[in-house]
Amino acid sequence: MYEKIVKFLQQKGAPASSTELVEKVLMIRDIQPSVAEKLVDSIVRDGEKVYYNKDGLWDVHSTAETDHSNIVSFILISTLPERVNFWTEWQSIGLMRIQNGQEIDRLVLERKIEPTLNGHADFIPPLEKAGQFIRNDMLIFDGFGNQMSMFSRAMFDIIGFNIENPKFSLRLLAKRLFPDEKIGTSARLSGLLQLRALENATLALRLDSLLEQFQALMHLLQERGISQLADFYEGEKQHPDYSKYHFDQEFIENLPFSPGCYIMRNKKDDVIYVGKAKNLNQRVRSYFSETAELDDKLTQIRRQIHTLEIQQTGSELEALLLEQKLIRQFQPPINSLFEIHHRQYRQKSRYSQILLLPSVQGEFVKLYFLNPYLGLREHNLAKNFANAEEIRNAIAKFFFQPSGFDPAGNVQEDMELAMSWLSLNEDYVTNIDMRRVSTADETMRILKDHLVNFSSETPKTIHY
């Protein structure tokens, strides 16, 4: 964690308060300044790089900026499948450490074949080894799936903070070397490099192929006299021009770290794009990163955006449902052009149930009623049970008197979205299996039990 603080201060280029370090590096929000001071001091007190300056802020002794062009140690990473909706769908992940172009170590993590009571939880302890394996080395992905973003997400979910390792994809590096070529697949890249192309290969063979591609690209760079790898890979940085926007960089950097949706509008106040995020700060900042790959979608967003609106939600599911509602309402043109949603769900999640999730209103808990035939309904239950009668009546009508319930609007479509999300997150969601409950009053008693210690970190419990 000490090195994380050092890197943060170096990248910021300015001193920071204890509160800022705790929020931005340790990812702890709403902490008292005195507690933050003690926490940071306990981490940095034995280090030589960080010091407390005369203004009462933490600073780092000036050092030469790391030159990634001279890095000789890299970590190659490959996963199966290459593209997933969420990292918990990975069946295996392989990491290979190379120095001076040659393999010196590898780590292959396989998901257990036999089913477990905790779903994907059996894959989490091995993935912690991946976090230890990568150390501070540069990470290399092939760039043809979504392994790079999903690996970062997995490490954040498992170890609790963003990894700061430099990382790049062979696809983008190849695009710099072959600007006139269309490189849409790993097989196409292998063809350009006159290497064997693999189809449906095992993870071990994929790692070997990744190493061959990396070695060939490094050889080409050497032949062309390119020694500054990082500079060549990043190309000309695309600095966003904030003067065109109704917000500035400080606004972007201080966005909340909570789930929510973001609404982008043009100068005419027309909605051009709607997105959702589990972490608003991390997701929205990616649109304005200097090193972001400027594809067609990002080009359109930067060209048209003028104002940015943020709507916080209590959970990622609420953000997903809100996103779909906003897209239906505004029909943003950029969403229509570039967004393709492929969502799948597992049949075992398709039963009547109530999900309990956090609400942005701290005095409430968000309830989601799911019924495969009637769709989805949302309700807010007061933690002090002030609206208990209203919720009891809603439960009775939705689950125990379905003949009198008239599904309307998009409740069925929203239910499918919720089922898709639940299939990936059910191990972390508190729910009530309504197949095992006989009355609305019994349901209310179970809900009351849940609310005693309910929080966003509450582990999943199923009542039978």
Which tokens sit at 179?
């600007």
Query: What CA–CA distances, in Å, run from 105 to 58, 72, 75, 216, 453?
Result: 38, 14, 9, 20, 45
Same domain, 16 and 78: no
Residue 132, pLDDT score: 79
Q: Is 99 found in the same domain as 37? A: no
Q: Indicate the pTM of the whole model.
A: 0.57
* Residue 246, domain member (yes or no): no
Is residue 456 situated within a structural domain?
yes
Sheet of 102-110: strand order equals: 102-110, 92-99, 73-80, 138-141, 167-169
Residue 239 lies in a domain: no
CA neighbor of 83 nearest in space, from 153, 147, 140 = 147
CATH code for position 184:
3.30.420.10
Question: Are 155 and 265 contained in the same domain?
Answer: no
* Number of domains composing the chain: 4
Q: Are residues 369 and 428 in the same domain?
A: yes
Whether 51 and 140 share a structural domain: no
86 with 188, same domain: the answer is yes
Find, among 351, 278, 269, 330, the residue nearest to 304 by Cα. Answer: 269
pLDDT tens for residues 107-150?
998 876 444 444 455 666 677 788 778 877 889 998 887 888 78
Q: Count how many residues are written for the chain.
A: 464
Supply angle C-alpha 197, 76, 198, rounded to 5: 10
Q: What CATH number is attached to the domain comprising 262?
A: 3.40.1440.10
CA distance 407 to 265: 33
Residues 80 and 167 in one domain: yes
Name the amino acid, one letter, at 110.
E
- Residue 269, sorted as left (phi over 0), alpha (psi -120 to 50) or beta, turns out to be left
Contacts of 79 (CB under 8 A, 6+ apart): 90, 92, 93, 94, 145, 147, 150, 151, 203
Q: What is the pLDDT of residues 144-168, one digit of tens each?
A: 878 887 888 888 777 766 677 888 8
Last residue of a domain, one of 203, 234, 265: 234
Q: What's the domain range around 12?
A: 2-60
With beta carbons less than 8 A apart as the criterion, state whether 426 and 460 touch: yes
Provide the 8-state DSSP code for 94. E
Any domain includes 262: yes
Residues 109 and 155 in one domain: yes
**What is the average pLDDT score of the chain?**
81
Domain-ending residue, one of 313, 338, 363: 338
Integer Cα distance of 29 and 20 in angstroms: 9
Token pair for 167: 């990382």
Q: Report yes or no on 38 lying in a domain.
A: yes
Please list the ranges in the chain whose pLDDT falls under 70: 45-48, 52-55, 61-72, 112-125, 160-162, 230-231, 234-238, 290-295, 338-349, 402-410, 455-464
Residues 210, 279: one domain?
no
Residue 98 DSSP SS3: strand
CA distance 248 to 218: 39
